[in-house]
Each structure stands twice: as structure tokens, then as C-alpha cells.
Structure 1
Amino acid sequence: MAQLEQQLFASGLPVEALMEKAALGLSRHLLAQENLTAGALVLVGPGHNGGDALVVARELKLAGLAVRIWSPFERHKPLTTSHLDHARWLGIPLLSEAPDPADPALWIDGLFGIGQRQPPAEAIQQLLLERQRRRPHHLVAIDVPTGLCADLGIPLAPGVATAHTTLTLGLVKTGLVQDGALAFVGQLVRLDLGLPARLLEGLPPGQPLGLTSSDEAAAHPSSADPSASKYQRGRLLVVAGSAHYRGAAALALAGASSSGCGSLRAALPAPMGQTLWQQLPHVVVSQELPCSPSGDLNLSALAATHLERLDALLVGPGIGCASPRDPDHGPSWQLMQGFAGLLVLDADGLNRLAQREETAQGWLQRRQGPTWITPHRSEFQRLFPQWAHLPPLEAARQAAQASGASVVLKGARSVITGPDGRCWQLLQANREAARAGLGDVLAGYAAGRGAMEGGDASILAAAALQHALAGCQSRRPTPQAVAATLAEGG
């Protein structure tokens, strides 16, 4: 974002104009969304983040609110100094001492922005820590919470501003969506600055696109031809379940059913295949597969004839890890490698791939059709140990480009990457939705979408977004509730 700002200034746009535009957007949001009955205390830094904060203070004052300013700095940038002088002229009180951390007013953090590289002063750190202790989550951050690295999402010091909302300007900063930053960022809200399209077109390749509820309309499945038969609306086979994890198969099939795909088949452990009609009568059991003595699903009996005339194949939810010496690590994996449709590998499908003598990267490179993989962090580490130490976005990007597969790296802010370098990051999620079974629903839903719409990474990103939003919209984000919400939306 800093580079884009410099390009705007070089084009002739005055710094004052951009600051005014940003701060007016901040003010509108604060007046509409925040509880300001006890007034506002605006924390003002020496740079342009402080200038933004001072324009906000001005607008809140003009709206008739009780506003005070605290700025523990002797020097400010010239433009910030001008706004500080104007605030004094308006009669906004400027505190001479550090504020009481128990102050009931809403604190607005404009101390430091995207340029933070060094820890804030010790006194500021202690004040921010005490504020969180005395008045937890009663602070709004402008652009980036003080003390947090905007690029990496790591604290620069023990004392970091803990916001209940961060209002980020223009583009979402990468550090704000890293897992380690979530406790400090709170709710992340992007305020549009109306950046020119030609400026955005010049962003570096691979710049992640943040996905939020505002993208929901575009994420819905594309409309099918009204005259299409069920076989023209996506044909999917789900290979799932084992003696120990029958529920995973049911949840994956529920997710697939929610996608709206036309023909849904399953290859399941024998006991489940015999009773599936009672739960999901529309699912055709193509094949009943045996389980090993340890209870894992044996894929060696998977028949090539059952992969014919399919658009997509999902393998993995609840099948068990098995042993690298099991027979299904031979012919069945050759069969999947040669499958021309979309292959979706999830959960134990990924764990079995990681157990093979051949590297996951090598096997995926030789796939005959498009491939999607949906690992969480531990599964990713087993598949691609060489990139597991990287931040999620970069780790997933490296894996996708090296393997040729599209990747959903699941986490608090899941990332989706394609082999062509495109990448997306989910900016909204329900923290209560981190529970067993939701990954099975996602795998089934994504596979169903892929069966209908093809194997492009953008379809996977749309499915991941819809799944995350369903978790936010469900009253209780259980796997069954999320699948039901997806079905209503799809």
C-alpha cells in the first residue's frame, strides 16, 4: 500500500487529499458502527497515521461528540502538525499526561501505521497492555494496531494495541490476516479509497485477493443450462469412511449434496454402504470397499470402471491413514493419477500421499487432470516439509506452483492458491467453526462445485468462501448446520 501511495503522490495527488479521503471514511464508519456515548480519546502519532487520526478527531468533534487527544511526541510531520493546530483551534482538549487506561471513552489508535519497524516506547507499551487489562477490546485501530508488523503480522514488542476492530485503508495488509495477528486485529474492516484500476493492475503478480461477504454473490455456483440433465450438472464419486470414521463419509456426502451437483455416488466401507439410503437416499453406492484389520479403508479394490464418466473424484475423508505397505498404495494410486477429471484429496487421502516413497510433489506433478488438495497445517507439513516453515500464504503458493495442484491451506484465515500464481485469502471466519467435521463438509462441497464448474482454482476459492460464510451465518456452526446453510444458499 505504501508503494501505491507514492505512485498516487507522484501522479500529482496531494498528500492532503488522500489523508482527507481516508479519514472521512474512517469517521463515517466510527459514527455509524461504534458506541461513542462516552466520547472518544484519539491517540495521535508523529506521522501521517497520526494525521488521519486528527482528521477523525475533527469530524467527531463537529458531529457533537466529546473528543480528546493524546500525543506523546514533541515533533510531528508538517501536515500532522497543521491538523494538530487546527484541533486546538476547534477546542479539542490535548492531554498533557498519559490517559487513564480505565477511561470509558472509545480509544482510537492512530499512533503508528504501516511503517512500523521498531517497538513503540516502553511507556506506550505499558499503557496499551494496561488498557487491554482494564478495558478489554475497547479500542479501534487505524490501519494497523500499534506494535504489530504490517507485513509479517508479528508483535514488535510485548505491548501491542489489542483492537476490537481494525479499520485498514485501501488494501488489506498481509500481516493483518496472519494467524498470529488475529488476537490484536479483532474484526478486520477494509475501507475503500477508490484506488484507480490502472494502479491495481500494476500490483506484483501473486498479490493475494482478500475474500469477504461482499464477494458472496460472485462466489455462488454458476447457473446451469435449464435443459441440462443430472449427468450434465456434475458427476462426483466420494471415496470416504472407514470402520473408525463413518461419520466423516456422511459429512463429506452432506457437503457434496449441498453443492447441487447432479449425480452423486459413493465408495464406502461395507456396513455404511448398506445403510446409507436411510440418511442420504439420493446417493448411489457404486462400490462397497473392505477395511483392513486395523479398520482403515482399503482402496485396492477401487475399480477403474467406477471412475468412468465422472467429472470429479474425492478421496480421503475418514478413510484412515493405512500403512505404506498396504496394497492400495500401488494400483489404486496409479488409477487416481491417471484419472482425467478433477481429483480432490483431503484428510487421510493427503496423509496416505505423504506416506508414499515418492514425494507428494512428484506424484502430483504427474497427475493427468486438475487436482485440489485441502490440508490443514499439520497435513501440509507432512506433504511439503520444505515449505512448512513459511507463512501460510507463501507456503501454499510455493506448493501450488511446484506441484501443479490448487491448494486450500486451512487455518483461521485460510489461503487458496493456484499453480498459475493466483491466490486468495479468506478475511472472514467464525472462530467457533474450528471443530471436527467441518473439513469433511468443505471437501465434499468443493468437490461438488468442481464437478459442476471445473477444476480452476477460482472455483476452489469460491467454495472455500461459501463454506466460511456458512459457518458465520449458522446459528450453531456444527458440520450439519453448515451443510444445511450451504444447501440453502446453493
Structure 2
Amino acid sequence: MVNHSALDSLVVSAAEMRAIEEYLFTQGMPVAALMEKAALAVAQRVLFWYPRFSYPTVGVLVGPGHNGGDGLVVARELALQQYQVKIYCPFERLKPLTQAHADYARCLGIPFVSNLEALRDCTFLIDAWFGFGLTRPFTGQIATEIDQLNTWPQPIVSIDIPSGLHTDSGAVLGMALRAQRSFCLGLWKRAYFQDAALAYLGQVERLDIGIPPQWIDAVLSPLPACQRFTSAMARRVFPQRPLVTHKYQQGHVLLICGSQRYAGGAILTALGARASGVGMVSVAVPQSLKPLLVGHCPEALVIACPETEQGAIASVPDLEAIWHQYQAVAIGPGLTTENPPLVEQVLAYPGPLILDADALNSLAGQGWLSRLQQRTLPTVLTPHLGELKRLFPHLENPQVDRLEAAQMAAQQSQALVLFKGARTIIAGPSGPTWIIAESTPALARGGSGDVLTGLMGGLLAQASPATYLETVALSAWWHAQAGILASQARSPMGVDALTLSQSLVSIAQQVLNQENF
């Protein structure tokens, strides 16, 4: 059941948001009342972020629908606070409630201007042209004016979602306004977590407009397919240690990784696993890398493997005989694609299995889906966009709607899919799709994915089967928070993978100390 504290985690589609609003109206809430609540919430935040002594003049872009009505109420409230307000509404026909607010604004003496150029001297602009639910690309005058507005220096504040973005996919519908700040009304919309939309959203806030949680329950049963993974969820899933325990009760993870060409991948994966707090870490590497691994991660058990002529792992000694020792296995970082049979062999592991990097590339195009579907315990796939396209070439435009692409990939493979990107998505064949809502471009650095794979392997080795999906999401959240923390100290350009692995420990300390993020 949804409560007020959980509202911030819900992410809805345009259809789901529309259904919630329709239910509110059938329960007796007047449309005008909802508009007033939403617009007053926006006005309060505008007053905070754009105070009149710094931003005395505001231009409001008013559309024909209820988003335009929201803008007119905001225009009225700002005018009452002594802002100089101008309204630009290039539409002849408005919805009745929006028309009523336009008439009232005229009665208050707020000027309506007939062309966009009249707003050029405003210190900031409010975008109330189109809210959620837009599906058709802009053409003609509106497209031309959006293009023009995007060249102006004034900050733009968008109500609900920047005009021109698809509410679900975040795709640009021909042309979209680039906002400095976007206020999402009621519940988070899917576009806010799509990579395609991030350059247009600016700083984002969700504004509570008083939707009773029980009414959300009544409409969204079960809950929305997508949810933000929050710090509160991280605390619930975070591994806890009893007072009396020993290392073999805290999980044992096997990492199969590295080659002479990519020796660092094995080291960074091991360091990520170490930061997870897992009881034991075993690392299978080419035998020539064993001294290197022991030097960087002396507590790990290093399995020296026979090598190919190119310095990759040829085989892991007695692999199937030692399966029972491990609670999770991760394979791929730095592996190279020289030995696909090794990856095929690892698919027989009877426990949680992470396939990353070259393990994914080794499987692509080899009829691997049926093998994954036969596994009884979870397989985790960790593709970036290019790898996802190779693994699932029949998916249409996975870059356009990343949430849908992750969900479809999970259903087709019966695996847990961690789809990497500026907003990482974690989807399973059933259950919620988790979104990592905060991250940093500092993670766009060689080796950061290796750290994530090791961290995830260590966490899965400590997790119960009931929490595998949430544990995968926890690893991505923890990894992102460590990147944010490191970038605050060293700048986004200064976060190398080793620094990232060290920052994981600081995030763990904050979580265990119940600190706020």
C-alpha cells in the first residue's frame, strides 16, 4: 500500500497519471481545485528559486490545455507578488477552464502579448505550453518558436514536463524546450528517468499536489511497473551482520575475469567485491596475473588458470566440482572474447550468475536465450546500449525508450537486466522495474563498470533469493552514490575507478549510520 513517504518512489506513465486524475474527478475533486493546488505549488517554488529582486519580469508561455491553465494561475500569483508578468498564448481555442483563467488574468490587467519577441526582455520564462501526454511532433510556428527560445539566455521553468518531450520515452517530438528547472506535478513521470530527456529537464523537483495515497492504490493495483530506488530502500536491503558470525556465513563470491591485455579489470572487480563486505572473494585469473592480484587484494583467494597464447583464461580448474563453494559467480570484466566455451560452461552454475562485458559479447548471436531461460536461479545481464543491441537485435529502438527496452529484454531472457546509462535501469521478468535516479558523468570512465560487477557479485553472495532484484538495484545505487561522493571531492574529471572503489566504503558508512542523502 502506498503511503505519503512512498509517493516519491513511484514513477508513472502518461496513461497511469491520466487514470489517477480521472479517478480524482469521479471522487468529487473539482478540476479547478486540482489546478489551483498544482499551480500554487509551482508558484511557491518559483518564488523561492526566482525571487523578484533578481528576476522582476516573467514571460508565461500558455498552452490550450490544463497545463496552460496551470501557467495562468502561476501568472496570476506572481502578478499579485508584484512581478511584472507578460502572457504569450498563440492559440485561438482554449479548454473552458483555461479560458476562464485567461479571462480572469485579463481582468487583473495582466498583459497578453501577440508575439514571442515581446518576451525577450523578461528575466525568466515559464513554460506552460504542453504538459504530460504529448505524442505528436511539433511543426510550424510552435516548432520555430521553441527553436528560437532555446537560443535565448533567460532561464526557462517548465511546469510538469518541458514542452516537446514524450512523457513516457522522453523522446524529443521534433523540438523541445530546454528548461533550467522542471517541476513534476503529483507523481514522477517516466520521461524524467530517460537518458534522451535529461538534457532538456534541467534541475528537477517533484511537487506534492495532495493526491490521497489510497486513491493511487485504487487506480494502480498493482503499483506502477517503475519505481525510483531510494535511500530508504537501500537501508532496507543493505546487508546486516549478526553479532556472532564468521566469514563463510557472510557469502563467498567467485570472480572470473582478467587477461594479460586487461589485467586491471580483474583488480578493479576484486576491489568492488571487497567493498561489498562479502565474507570471501575468490578470483580466477590467468596464472601470470596471480602475483598482481595478490599484491592489490591480498585477502582474496586467487585461482591461477591456464592461459591461451594471447593471455586469456583457457579454463578454470575443476570448475564444476567447486560450484558448491560459492553463493554467487560473476564473469566478464577484462575476459576478452577468445574463449566463448568458458562462458557457456559457467551458465551451468546453480546459483546467481552475473554476465558482464566480454561475457555478454561472447554470448551475443549464439542462440543463448534458450540457455538463460533454462536456468532456475537468477542470471544478471549488465549491458550498456551497444551490448543490449547485440544481445537483443530484434528490439526496436532501445535508445528511444530505455525503460521499455530493459523490461522487454528481461521478459525475453527471463534474466535480471541492469541496463547501464546516465539513469541505470534494473528490470526483472516480473516485479518492479527499479530506476537509479541520481548519478554522475564521473562514472563515464574506464573500469567503473568492473567495480560495479564486483560490488554486485559480493552483494548477491550475501543476499536471500527473495531480494535478488532489489540487491542488484542496491549495487547500482551504491555505485552511483560513490561516484557522486567522489566527484564532489575530486570533480567529475578526477574520479578514476580506484578512487570509486574506495568511495564505496564511505557510502556504506553513511547508510549504516542512517544518514540522509
Q: TM-score, normalised by structure 2?
A: 0.85
Question: Could you tell me which of 458, 464, 467 is aligned with 2:479?
Answer: 467
Cα distance in 1 between the residues matched to 2:79 and 2:318: 71
Cα distance in 2 between the residues matched to 1:451 and 1:24: 49
1:379 equivalent in alignment to 2:387: yes
The structure-2 alpha-carbon separation of the partners of 1:118 and 1:271, relative to structure 1 and needing over 3 Å to count, comes to: same
Question: Could you tell me which of 361, 364, 370 is aligned with 1:362?
Answer: 370
Cα distance in 1 between the residues matched to 2:50 and 2:434: 29
Question: Could you tell me which of 441, 447, 452 is aligned with 1:437?
Answer: 447
The 8 Å contact of residues 47 and 112 in structure 1, kept in 2 or not, is answered as yes
Q: In the alignment, residue 477 of structure 2 is paired with which amino acid?
A: L
The 8 Å contact of residues 70 and 99 in structure 1, kept in 2 or not, is answered as no
1:401 equivalent in alignment to 2:419: no
The 8 Å contact of residues 314 and 339 in structure 2, kept in 1 or not, is answered as no
Query: How many angstroms does 1:213 deviate by?
Result: 5.5
SS of 2:311's partner is coil
Question: Could you tell me which of 272, 277, 283 is aligned with 1:266?
Answer: 283
The 8 Å contact of residues 346 and 375 in structure 1, kept in 2 or not, is answered as yes
Cα distance in 2 between the residues matched to 1:163 and 1:291: 54
SS of 2:347's partner is helix
Query: How many angstroms does 1:205 deviate by?
Result: 5.5
Bigger drift between 80-89 and 256-265 goes to 80-89
SS of 1:379's partner is helix
Name the counterpart of 1:486. 504
Question: Could you tell me which of 418, 428, 453 is aligned with 1:418?
Answer: 428
Cα distance in 2 between the residues matched to 1:221 and 1:65: 48
Cα distance in 2 between the residues matched to 1:341 and 1:236: 11
Alignment of 1:289-300 (within 5 A): 289-300=305-316
Question: Could you tell me which of 53, 65, 70 is aligned with 1:47?
Answer: 65
* Aligned pairs, number: 479
SS of 1:31's partner is helix
The structure-2 alpha-carbon separation of the partners of 1:170 and 1:58, relative to structure 1 and needing over 3 Å to count, comes to: same
The 8 Å contact of residues 237 and 470 in structure 2, kept in 1 or not, is answered as no
Name the counterpart of 2:5. none
SS of 1:351's partner is helix
1:25 equivalent in alignment to 2:41: yes
Cα distance in 1 between the residues matched to 2:311 and 2:365: 18
The structure-2 alpha-carbon separation of the partners of 1:229 and 1:102, relative to structure 1 and needing over 3 Å to count, comes to: farther
User: What per-residue deviation string (whole Å, max 9, x for no partner) do you get for residues 249-273 of structure 1?
Assistant: 1111121122121212211122321
Cα distance in 2 between the residues matched to 1:213 and 1:28: 25
Name the counterpart of 2:274. 257
Alignment of 1:58-457 (within 5 A): 58-100=76-118, 102-103=120-121, 105-120=123-138, 122-135=140-153, 138-157=155-174, 159-201=175-217, 202-203=219-220, 207-211=224-228, 215=232, 217-218=234-235, 221-285=238-302, 287-301=303-317, 303-324=319-340, 328=342, 333-334=344-345, 336-354=346-364, 356=366, 359-387=367-395, 389-390=397-398, 391-455=401-465, 456-457=468-469
Give RMSD over aligned pairs. 2.5
Percent identity of the aligned residues? Answer: 38
Query: How many angstroms does 1:421 deviate by?
Result: 4.1
The 8 Å contact of residues 38 and 209 in structure 2, kept in 1 or not, is answered as yes
Query: How many angstroms does 1:34 deviate by?
Result: 4.3
User: What per-residue deviation string (whole Å, max 9, x for no partner) do you get for residues 146-191 of structure 1?
Assistant: 122223322222x321112222212332334333222222333322
Q: In the alignment, residue 33 of structure 1 is paired with which amino acid?
A: W
SS of 2:470's partner is helix
SS of 1:299's partner is coil
Query: How many angstroms does 1:407 deviate by?
Result: 0.8
Cα distance in 2 between the residues matched to 1:66 and 1:250: 60
Cα distance in 2 between the residues matched to 1:227 and 1:398: 43
The 8 Å contact of residues 445 and 463 in structure 1, kept in 2 or not, is answered as yes
SS of 2:25's partner is helix
Q: In the alignment, residue 328 of structure 1 is paired with which amino acid?
A: L
Q: TM-score, normalised by structure 1?
A: 0.90
Query: How many angstroms does 1:8 deviate by?
Result: 0.9
Q: In the alignment, residue 457 of structure 1 is paired with which amino acid?
A: L
The structure-2 alpha-carbon separation of the partners of 1:88 and 1:171, relative to structure 1 and needing over 3 Å to count, comes to: same
The structure-2 alpha-carbon separation of the partners of 1:386 and 1:219, relative to structure 1 and needing over 3 Å to count, comes to: farther
Query: How many angstroms does 1:143 deviate by?
Result: 1.3
Query: How many angstroms does 1:102 deviate by?
Result: 4.6
SS of 1:295's partner is coil
Q: In the alignment, residue 172 of structure 2 is paired with which amino acid?
A: P
Cα distance in 2 between the residues matched to 1:302 and 1:56: 70
The 8 Å contact of residues 369 and 413 in structure 2, kept in 1 or not, is answered as yes
The 8 Å contact of residues 286 and 312 in structure 2, kept in 1 or not, is answered as no
The structure-2 alpha-carbon separation of the partners of 1:34 and 1:443, relative to structure 1 and needing over 3 Å to count, comes to: farther
Cα distance in 2 between the residues matched to 1:445 and 1:122: 51
Q: In the alignment, residue 44 of structure 1 is paired with which amino acid?
A: V
Query: How many angstroms does 1:6 deviate by?
Result: 0.8
Name the counterpart of 2:470. 458
The structure-2 alpha-carbon separation of the partners of 1:130 and 1:223, relative to structure 1 and needing over 3 Å to count, comes to: same
Cα distance in 2 between the residues matched to 1:35 and 1:371: 52
Query: How many angstroms does 1:14 deviate by?
Result: 0.8
Bigger drift between 451-460 and 95-104 goes to 95-104
Query: How many angstroms does 1:9 deviate by?
Result: 0.6
Name the counterpart of 2:6. none
Query: How many angstroms does 1:48 deviate by?
Result: 0.7
The 8 Å contact of residues 257 and 487 in structure 1, kept in 2 or not, is answered as no
Bigger drift between 52-61 and 342-351 goes to 52-61
User: What per-residue deviation string (whole Å, max 9, x for no partner) do you get for residues 48-79 of structure 1?
Assistant: 10111122223333344333322222332222
